[in-house]
Structure 1
Amino acid sequence: MYQQDFNPTGSLALSALLASLPLLALLVTLGVFKWRAHWAGALSLGISVVIAIAAYHMPIGQTLDAGVFGAALSVLAILWITFNAIWIYNLTVKTGHFAVLRRAFAAISDDRRIQSIVIAFSFGALIESLAGGGSPIAICAVMLIAIGFSPLKAAAVALVANTAPVAFGGLGNPITIMGQVTELPAEQFGAMAGRQVAVLAVLVPFVLVGIVDGWKGVREVWPAALTAGLSFGVAQFAFANFVNYKLCDIFASLVSAGAVILLNRLWKPKAGSVAARPVVAGGATDDPAFTRRVGSPDGDSCADVFLAFAPYAVVVVLFSLAQIPVIAGVLNAPTITFDWPGLDITGPTGKAVSVAYKLNWLSATGTLLFLSGVVTALILRITPLTALRTYWETLRQFGWAIVTILLVFALSYVMNLSGQISTLGLWLAGTGAFFAFISPVVGWFGVAVTGTDAGSNALFGKLQITAAQQLHASPILFGAANTSGGVMAKMISPQNLAIGTAAVGEVGAEGVLFRRVFGWSLLFLLAMCLLVFLQSTPVLGWMRVG
């Protein structure tokens, strides 16, 4: 048995310094030395293992087993989701229907900056709301390449755009997890998070336009950016507070896309704006994303467009059906839950630390996406052999990104189960009333390590509530702050960097991509810290839930 000690050195500051070394190594190797993500992840994992054994006195066997446990969790939580999401996309490319989808988005506007808002921000939010797991980054990045973006710029835009919907991604999974971990009403966490990330959502489209075309672009298309951000934020706030937090991103994404389309009928940027790459009518390029292989050379018919959007409509329908209690019960029936063998860990008080592995193979998000892919293949009349070959090509496409995801999840669970994560949280909680400002940073670190907002809430949810009780503050505010702060780290987490570079064919350039988005991550985080701090004071206290 291993009993955690959150202050193994006797000095909380020194213990926190040791616990932070794996995270610092990860950030420095990616951001400063521009290492490949799998090497950065391997080094950070090695450092965390040494610290767990030497400083925290965790048995070698349990330390290594904790890493294996984390890697195993990533298979269903990340890899199974991402593989199937990209498989669906690759099926549409294989048949030429992705080119139709691209032309449908191009028809909204001939301005590439506005297209980036609709694709990366609105459409990406829809994918995040249904699947998450990095799938919107991969799909939207490739769509942006199809309208003329360079690979790394496309990945950067997709990563930054993925900020706004993450708190409610996967049908509100991060909020649901926070409720389960803290045993407080998830609906209240959802409502409070809606009063935080909705403010952030207004800003994101402006940043996207700035990445695409600088300050000049912001000046020229600010009405579209404001329309997208404001409509998304208002819808997200309304659904999170008054309807159902699980559905808020679905409707917010549709509302924002519709608002931009309506605006484009009434207003257009001035002449000379950034135009999109022209639609390719034939074999002018070998890129299947551009080539017209479906439909008439004179234009896409309504049937063509319907089939192009059909895969995503299938995803919406299947995920909606899976929420019906009777169907959900059937899908959850074969779920197997067991304690991971070899791990026997207790907290400082002697309470057992959960090491449960939930094998929900039928109800898992990735399985629903796989079924969506099967239905997509049937609708698009793809033969089973072609579908299988495309799946194999999808697996090969990720390459080292798979290793990166396994390593970083192993890192997160070595740090978590050894007590390193809790050490950092306790040290931050020692800042007193200023913890309201720091609270989002805890969630930010959690997502930077795990790659998911749900994972960060699972790691730090209890810590946030404990800190709130010690400070006589609102536990709902701090729990929501963990969720809202975490969304800014999605763009810099090694898993998502690996997914982004794999999707655009730039595996190995994770360090370069990290440098492009890290500043935006910090800027958004600072804004969220300030907002949460003001919400803890009489200045914006009226925004608190409960």
Structure 2
Amino acid sequence: MLLDVFQPSTNPLGAQWLSALVAALPIAAMLITLALLRWRAHVAGPFSWAVALIVAVTAFGMPLTTAVATSVHGFLYGLFPIVWILLTAIWMYEVTVASGRFDDLRRTFFLISDDPRVLGMLIAFCFGGLLEALAGFGAPVAITAAMLVAIGFSPLRSAMIALLANTVPVAFGAVGLPVLMAAKTGGFDDVLAISPITGRITAALCLVVPFLLLTVMDGKRGLKQVWPFGLVVGASFGVTKWIVSATPLYNLTEVFAAVVSVAVAIAFLKVWHPNGGDEATRRIGIPVDPSIEGTERHVMVSDAGATQLTGRRIAMALVPYVLVIVVFGIAALPAVKSVLVSTDVKLTWPGLSEMLDVAGNPASHQTYTLAWASTPGILLALVAVATGLIYKMSLTRIFQVLLANVKKLRFAMLTIGSVVALAYVMGDSGQTLALGLLFAGAGVAYPFVAPVLGYIGVYVTGSDTSANILFSGLQSGVGAEIGPGSHLGTEDMRALLVGSSAAGGVVGKMISPQSLTVAATSIGIAGAESVILRRIIKWSVVLLVLLCLISGLMSTPVLSWLLP
């Protein structure tokens, strides 16, 4: 069968504002159905994909067979590796629960502090940052949200905390892959032209996010009573990001930031203790939305009658997380990573052989890469099995836990698959770039809105890496146009726009439908995505406005000194 050659147009309707308005319909459909109509995500996702498909075919001229083929490709990618990573992350956690060792881990955290707000910060912000640095793909949200529930936070509060904390480390997650792709796609030979800019912009978030986390955890009282700890953790994390992101070790930025901030935090707790921890322990378990969580207050399991927490029990409780750090650390070594990548299986995707990108080159989605060994999923699965065996569980019991979680994730699979299918259709048909070009028309004021493109890209794709691949070339091109007459000049303007777009994506991560599904599933209330979105979107917008202000001022004499 002969296939039609398709090269997307970013302005099929003759007016950029009109093409962008039509291209925004799938995004509007997702927001309206989730936030306003309160549809379940596994219904809102397929509906929004259908809108994207109709727009692609009717307004952007994409052949129906091509639109369906790229949708199926995207759906499969949503299942593997994204759902596979989520499944294995939850599997690893559930193995520790089934073994009875997770309670020891909870009690171990309370050796550091008896204040749940302090522990919440260490788990979500610091430990979550470390997981993002090593794994990404939803694993940090899944693991930290479950851990927060275990120390006494109500489920919805746990999900909000995990999502909000999973912003700062995203740009350098998965061992620096997002910022590396931003530099590569933006046409920069050296990633260090971009990474310090993204590092410094996101470092500013470190002075804001911890205080928002305290507010979500315990309202004004949490902020008033624990702000010194939030400041110490945020400042140490941010300063480390600022320094490491400008060095050849940029890909380990979040690893260093997480480790340093934990060390500084523990040292600070030797000389400072928060007030109100006992009262906070009772408040944090109160349901945020009783209609979803039920009316019963979530409480931390009492230690009364528990076996004494010995050094060996502590070491055993930390086994899975030590294994995660060791396994992912080894996998990130260049020699090992190249071996793992060499096992990738590339398959030509049927129905897309004649699909081109905007520049007329063969579209990247013509090929599907089965990265069975080079993505975090297989590594997390190995950790799950190894953890179960170390805990003296039978292989039968270990895989029973896996099967139980497969059943729990059936709706999440549909949601994530359909959202990635939507992202593929929007990207391959030209809809996403049509939106980007509308913002690019802002001229010299463009640096003030550059992060919005990254924000939209991550909201649609669920990935800062994907958003950077999608928009960094456009950002670089806009910088080349407005740079000559600007305060910065061409090269610095190009670098600023690419770097700030990568930074903008990190705050879009927390409201991405994929992330919402991961969070809702990990706390055991699948279908609560709309509730979480309505409660967390305001913080996402606040952080985006802050990033836009910083990016814009960096293009002027006010903050241009922040550029490397």
TM class by shorter chain equals over 0.9
Matched, 1:151 2:155: yes
Aligned to 1:534: 553
Describe the SS at the equivalent of 2:274. Answer: coil
SS at match of 1:107: helix
1:277 CA displacement: 6.6
Say whether residues 1:181 and 2:185 are aligned partners.
yes
CA distance in 2, matches of 1:321, 1:289: 35
1:74-107 CA deviation, whole Å, 9 max, x = no partner? 2334112111111111111111111111111122
The change in CA–CA distance for 1:35 and 1:255 in structure 2 (over 3 A counts) is same
What's the CA shift for 1:26? 0.9
Aligned residue number for residue 226 of structure 2: 221
Q: Could you tell me how far 1:291 is from its partner in structure 2?
A: 7.7
Q: 2:520 aligns with which of 498, 501, 521?
A: 501
What is the Cα deviation at residue 211 of structure 1? 0.9
Tell me whether 534-543 or 268-277 shows the greater mean CA deviation. Answer: 268-277
Cα deviation, residue 189, structure 1? 1.9
1:434 aligns with 2:434: no
Q: 1:216: how far off? A: 2.3
2:360 corresponds in structure 1 to: 350
User: Are the counterparts in 1 of residues 282 and 299 from structure 2 also a CA contact under 8 Å?
Assistant: no
2:379 to 352, 362, 368: 368
CA distance in 1, matches of 2:459, 2:334: 34
- 2:497 corresponding residue in structure 1: 478
Query: Paired residue for 1:320, among 329, 335, 345?
Result: 329
* Contact 1:314/1:372, CA 8 A, preserved across alignment: yes
Closer, same or farther: CA 329–216 of 1 in aligned 2, 3 Å: closer
8 Å Cα contact 2:195-2:246 kept in structure 1: yes
**Aligned mates of 1:166, 1:236 — CA distance in 2:** 12
Question: Aligned pair 1:238/2:243, yes or no?
Answer: yes
Aligned residue number for residue 20 of structure 2 = 16
CA spacing shift, 1:96–1:348, aligned 2, 3 Å: closer
% identical aligned pairs: 39
- CA distance in 2 between counterparts of 1:214 and 1:329 reads 47
- SS of 2:368 mapped into structure 1: strand
Asked if residue 512 in structure 1 is aligned to residue 521 in structure 2, the reply is no
The one of 171, 192, 199 equivalent to 2:197 is: 192
SS in 2 for 1:337: strand
AA of the residue aligned to 2:362: A
Instruction: Output the CA distance in 2 between the equivalents of 1:205 and 1:358.
Output: 38
Counterpart residue number, 2:288: none
Aligned residues: 536
Distance in 1 (CA, whole Å) between partners of 2:348 and 2:498 is: 27
Question: Aligned letter for 2:541?
Answer: L
CA distance 1:272–1:85, shift in 2 (3 Å): closer
Structure-2 residue corresponding to 1:334:
343
Residue 276, structure 1, aligned to residue 314, structure 2? no
Alignment of 1:250-265 (within 5 A): 250-265=255-270
Residues 275 and 29 (structure 1), Cα distance of their counterparts in 2 relative to 1, 3 Å cut:
same
Higher mean alpha-carbon deviation, 518-527 vs 107-116, is at: 107-116
Deviation string 1:324-352 (CA, Å, 9 cap, x unpaired) is: 33322322222222442211222455333
Distance 1:88 1:363, change over 3 A: same
Say whether residues 1:299 and 2:308 are aligned partners: yes
TM-score of the pair, normalised by structure 2: 0.91
Cα distance in 2 for partners of 1:272, 1:127 equals: 27
**Per-residue deviation at 1:180?**
3.2
Contact 2:358-2:430 at 8 Å conserved across structures: no
> SS state of the match for residue 358, structure 1?
strand
Q: Aligned letter for 2:430?
A: G
CA contact (8 A) 2:13 2:59 kept: yes
Contact 1:161 1:208 in 2 (8 A): yes
Q: CA shift at 1:259, angstroms?
A: 1.8
Q: Any gaps of 5 or more consecutive residues in structure 2?
A: 284-295, 484-489
Aligned-residue CA RMSD (Å): 2.1
**Do structure 1's residue 383 and structure 2's residue 402 form an aligned pair?**
no
**Amino acid aligned to 2:236:** S
Give the Cα separation in 2 of the matches to 1:120 and 1:325. Answer: 28
Hey, what's the Cα distance between the residues in 2 that align with 1:230 and 1:151?
28
- Asked if residue 524 in structure 1 is aligned to residue 543 in structure 2, the reply is yes
CA offsets per residue over residues 282-302 of structure 1, 9 Å max, x none?
xxx9x9994879xx9352111
Separation of aligned partners in 1, 2:251 and 2:117: 30
CA offsets 1:378-400 (integer angstroms, 9 cap, x no match): 32222111111111112122231
The residue number in structure 2 matching 1:397 is: 408
Residue 66 in structure 1 maps to residue 70 in structure 2: yes
Give the alignment's TM-score, normalised by structure 1. Answer: 0.94
Cα distance per residue 1:392-440 (max 9 Å; x no partner): 1121222311111000000001000000001011111011112111110
Q: Give the drift of 1:181.
A: 2.3
Give distance in 1, aligned partners of 2:112 and 2:277.
17
Q: Which amino acid aligns with 2:61?
A: H
Q: Contact (CA 8 Å) 2:187, 2:476: kept in 1 or not?
A: no
Residues of 1 paired with 2:259 and 2:359: CA distance? Answer: 48
CA positional deviation for 1:276: 3.3
- Partner of residue 462, structure 1: 473
**What SS does structure 2 have at the residue aligned with 1:345?**
coil
1:182 deviates by 2.8
Residue in 1 aligned with 2:286?
Answer: none
What CA distance in whole angstroms lies between the structure 1 residues aligned with 2:134 and 2:282?
A: 29
| Greater CA drift, 345-354 or 258-267 | 345-354
Aligned with 1:172: secondary structure? helix
Residue 57 of structure 2 aligns to a residue whose secondary structure is helix
**2:509 alignment partner, one of 462, 468, 490:** 490
CA contact (8 A) 1:136 1:162 kept: yes
Q: What residue is the counterpart of 1:112 in the other structure?
A: 116
SS in 1 for 2:270: helix
Distance 2:437 2:451 in 1: 14
What is the identity, as a one-letter code, of the residue corresponding to 2:343? P
Equivalent position amino acid for 1:447 in 2: V
Q: Is the 8 A contact 2:225 2:276 kept in 1?
A: no
Moved more, 172-181 or 113-122: 172-181
Q: Partner of 1:249 in structure 2?
A: 254
After TM superposition, where is structure 1 displaced by more than 4 Å over at least 4 residues in a row? none
Greater shift in the superposed pair: 67-76 or 81-90? 67-76
Asked whether the 8 Å contact 2:192–2:247 carries over to 1, the reply is: no
